[in-house]
Amino acid sequence: MVAPSFGQELLGRYGSPLYVYDLDEAERQAKALFGLLPQSSQILYSVKANPIPELCAALKTAGCRVEIASPLELKVVLEAGFAPDQILCSGPGKTASLVREMLLAGVTHFSCDSWYDLERLSGVAAATKKSANALLRLQVSGAPTAPERSQPSAPDHARRGRDRADARRLHQLVGSDMVRARAAALFAQIAGSTR
């Protein structure tokens, strides 16, 4: 908590609105969260929330990794000391140009929001002769994500997308037990078809 007199001093010096971050507290809270999770858990800080190098560095000290979606965010996290293997490139707006820039900077972890996104990642990875790991986000509730296009079956699409991008994780967008079972079955089908 910021003392009122210190708050007034900061407002007088910097103006309003003003955001003040307690980096020690951010680090303590991240460590406390790690303490509540299974030991193998990873916490990724979404840099778009606050692309501040000092805040990112404090969270790195606590053991966090980062999730980014732009070249500016890449610059921030590299400045904060994150290694490329601690960075996940995410977001639905990943263009081939962005994927290429990330791969050339050494980023190898990507979140793909569709089969088409996985194919784009694979194509760019092949063109740059880089490898990439993909976290594949699937909506398994049955609602189509691209109603204008006819989507190939999961195994067919997965085989085509595995040239250079390796789908290693499945991120499920909804949480009912029935959907979890469908997602697990789909992932098993994908994994089996790409070996």
Q: Is pLDDT of 145 > 80?
A: no
Q: What pLDDT digit, counting tens, does each position of 23-47 carry?
A: 999 999 999 999 999 998 899 999 9
- Assess contact for 59 and 26: CB atoms under 8 A: yes
Mean pLDDT of 142-159: 48
Residue 174's pLDDT is: 44
Q: What is the dihedral of CA 122, 51, 22, 44, to 10 degrees?
A: -10
Predicted local distance difference test score (pLDDT) of residue 87: 98
- In this prediction, residue 140 has a pLDDT band, given cuts at 50, 70 and 90, of low
67's enclosing H/E stretch is strand 65-68
pTM of the model: 0.74
Pairwise pLDDT comparison (138 vs 188), residue with the higher score: 138
- Give the whole-number percent of the chain exceeding pLDDT 70: 69
Does residue 122 have a pLDDT over 70?
yes
pLDDT digits (tens, 9 = 90+) for 152-169: 445 454 444 445 566 555
Confidence of residue 137 (pLDDT cuts 50, 70, 90): confident
Quick: pLDDT tens for 54-86. 999 999 999 999 999 999 999 999 999 999 999
Q: Quote the pLDDT of residue 90.
A: 94
Specify the 3-state DSSP secondary structure of 155: helix
| Angstrom distance (rounded) from CA 31 to CA 63 | 8
Query: What tens digit of pLDDT does each residue of 84-106 get?
Result: 999 999 988 899 999 999 999 99
Residue 64 Cα distances to 22, 59, 161, angstroms: 17, 5, 29
Angle of CA points 117, 119, 123, to nearest 5°: 120
Asked if residues 58 and 45 have their Cβ atoms less than 8 Å apart, the reply is no
Highest mean pLDDT among 48-52, 56-60, 188-192: 56-60
In order of start, what are the domains of the chain with their CATH numbers? 20-81 (no CATH), 90-195 (3.20.20.10)
Q: Which long-range contacts (CB under 8 A, 24 or more apart) does 23-31 make?
A: 23/54, 23/55, 23/57, 23/58, 24/58, 26/55, 26/58, 26/59, 26/62, 27/58, 27/59, 27/61, 27/62, 28/62, 30/58, 30/59, 30/62, 30/63, 30/64, 31/62, 31/63
